Amino acid sequence: MDKKLVPDPPVVRKAPSAAEKSMYLSKVVEVPFSNGEPEPSSTARLLDTLALTCSKPVIPEDPCKPTLFAIQPGVTAQDALAYVSRLLETAELNGDEISLHTNPVERALFWGMLHSVEVARAVVDALLEGASPSH
C-alpha cells in the first residue's frame, strides 16, 4: 500500500478565446433583465428621478462660516456623476504615479485603496452608461 506524497495538481482550465468571450458577452447583453413584470412604456430614467444638488460645503469646518469651495445647488444627478467620474479618473492616474515611489508595504496598502477608486469609478460610469438615452 503506497501513500501518495504529492497531491494532485490543480485542474488547469484553458482561458476562453476572444471569440468565446464576445459570444458570451453578446448573449448576456441580449438577455433583458426581467423580474416577471412587464416594463411600463413610459418608464422614467432613474437619474431623472433624483433630486438636484443642494449647496454643501466641501470641507464643513464651521456651519456658520462661509466656505471657499462648495457644491453648487441645482446640478443634475447625471452632471454630478460625470464630474465624479472625472475626479475618480484623476485619482486613478495620480495613484498610479504615486505607487511607483512607495515601499512594498505601503504599495500593497495603496493598491487596495486604488482598487476601491477604480471600482467606484466603474460603478459611476456604469450608471451613466445605463442612463444614456440610447439604452
The pLDDT, as a whole number, for residue 26 is: 63
Mean pLDDT value of segment 94-110: 83
Regarding predicted confidence, which is higher, 36 or 20?
A: 20
Widest pairwise Cα distance in the chain: 83
Cell 450608471 maps to which residue?
127
The pLDDT, as a whole number, for residue 95 is: 87
Measured distance CA(134)–CA(96) in Å, rounded: 33
The pLDDT, as a whole number, for residue 38 is: 45
> Strand, coil or helix: what is 68?
coil
What average pLDDT does the structure give for the chain? Answer: 75
pLDDT reading at 121 higher than 80: yes
> Strand, coil or helix: what is 40?
coil
Residue 65 pLDDT grade (very low, low, confident, very high; cuts 50, 70, 90): confident
The pLDDT, as a whole number, for residue 120 is: 94
Residue 33 pLDDT grade (very low, low, confident, very high; cuts 50, 70, 90): very low
Measured distance CA(111)–CA(106) in Å, rounded: 9
